[in-house]
Amino acid sequence: MPGVIESCQRKTALVTGGTDGIGKEVARGLAIAGHRVIVIGRDRQKGERATSEIKAAAGNTETHYLRADLSLMGDTSRLANEIVRQYRELHYLVLGAGVVRGRRQQTAEGFESTFALNYLSRFALTQRLFPLLESTGKPHQSARIVLLSGAAQRGRIHWQDVNLTNDFSLVRSVLQFCFANDVFTIELDRKRNQKSTPSYVTINCLKIGVVKTNIRREFPLWMKILVPAVFDPLIGQTPQEVAKAALSLLLEREFEGVTGGLFLKIKQFRQIKPGRAVTDPRAGIRLFELSERMIAEATHNTPLIVRRSAVSGD
């Protein structure tokens, strides 16, 4: 495969959301490249079926399924601990599990579900697995993290009501988690650069436009009608087309050492310049503090409500 890093060893990749859609195609591509792939999903039957299909397509038996409900921080923590116990190395972390819902749903831990799955679990999993990634990465062979997120670029975090209890809408929830993923990418890279010793881990975010996947099952009715009729003919993409861009970020030499980047895949695949709100260090620090506090409350089994008094300002 031209441009792909050549390796004499099988590397280990973890793909959340790897049982369907884009995540499944990324997992398939990694397996075809000869790597060990750990596929994460909530539905065991679906996960085992997906791994069997990937094994058959890739001719690679080193594809494994682990069950986890990543909308729950307790289960995300359990998964991370299991990975650390079972694997001595982790070369690739692909954060692709996601959902877009037309109505507000609250998790058992008290989170708005799209924020929990599409952002907060990614923060929790990355924080726990980062030492493993760092111990794996080497000069000119960095461990690589890729977040799969939405294409929205003008979002904001509702600091006083991150769970959107008072004014939920699909647009507000999507804009919020997209912005959080962008800020997280920039801030994690900033923290990596501030370390006293070199960190051979890169993190990039792939922002995706309209894709023909099963994520549409939970769209509101108007989107189920509008998107296939209007957007698909103009800018609709297949999971395979998007996965190709993600695999480039993971495997190609061109992206060795490239980190803290936001990449957009709508019709073309290109790097974009983040806005000032995304790169503002104050937003990054605030998001990390908020995320750490929410996860700590959830994993210690205390009521998870982000109160107005807990986060100042909006």
- Kindly report the CATH number assigned to the domain that includes residue 23: 3.40.50.720
Instruction: Indicate whether 117 belongs to any domain.
Output: yes
Q: In total, how many domains does the chain have?
A: 1
What are phi and psi for residue 256, nearest 5 degrees?
-65, 125
262, 271 contact by CB (below 8 A)? yes
Instruction: Indicate whether 168 belongs to any domain.
Output: yes
Q: What is the pLDDT of residue 227?
A: 65
Q: What is the pLDDT of residue 9?
A: 76
pTM: 0.89
Nearest-angstrom CA–CA distance, 55 and 46: 14
Q: Residues 220, 222, 228, 230: what is their CA dihedral angle, to the nearest 10 degrees?
A: -140
Residue with tokens 């100042």: 312
- Structural domain for 43, as ranges: 12-299
Instruction: Indicate whether 2 belongs to any domain.
Output: no
Nearest-angstrom CA–CA distance, 241 and 228: 17
Instruction: Indicate whether 40 belongs to any domain.
Output: yes
Closest CA to 66 of 83, 54, 52: 83
Instruction: Indicate whether 55 belongs to any domain.
Output: yes
pLDDT in tens, the chain (314 residues): 334 444 447 899 999 999 989 999 999 999 999 999 999 999 999 999 999 999 999 999 999 999 999 999 999 999 999 999 999 999 999 999 988 888 899 999 999 999 999 999 999 999 999 999 999 999 999 999 999 999 888 899 999 999 999 999 988 999 999 999 999 999 999 999 998 888 999 999 999 876 666 665 666 665 666 667 666 666 668 889 999 999 999 999 999 999 999 999 998 999 999 999 999 999 999 999 999 999 999 988 544 333 332 333 33
Instruction: Indicate whether 309 belongs to any domain.
Output: no
Instruction: Indicate whether 314 belongs to any domain.
Output: no
Q: What is the pLDDT of residue 306?
A: 35
Q: What is the pLDDT of residue 233?
A: 67
